[in-house]
Amino acid sequence: MTAIEVVIRSVIVAGLGSYLYVKHRQRLRSEPPRYDEADWTGRAIDTVALKPTVERVRRDYLASRLPACALGFRGTLIKLAKRALSRLAYFQDRELERHGQSHPR
Residue 59 lies inside a defined structural domain of this protein = no
Q: Is the pLDDT at 5 greater than 90, yes or no?
A: yes
Number of domains in the chain: 2
Specify the 3-state DSSP secondary structure of 88. Answer: coil
The answer to whether position 89 is within a domain reads: yes
Q: Is residue 2 domain-resident?
A: yes
Residue of 89 and 19 predicted with greater confidence: 19
Cα–Cα dist 7/9, whole Å: 6
Domain encompassing residue 75: 66-105
Tell whether 43 is covered by a domain: no
- Summarised one tens digit per residue, pLDDT across range 26-80 is 988 887 777 777 777 777 788 888 888 888 888 887 777 766 666 677 888 889 9
Note whether residue 96 is domain-resident.
Answer: yes
Rg (CA), the chain: 33
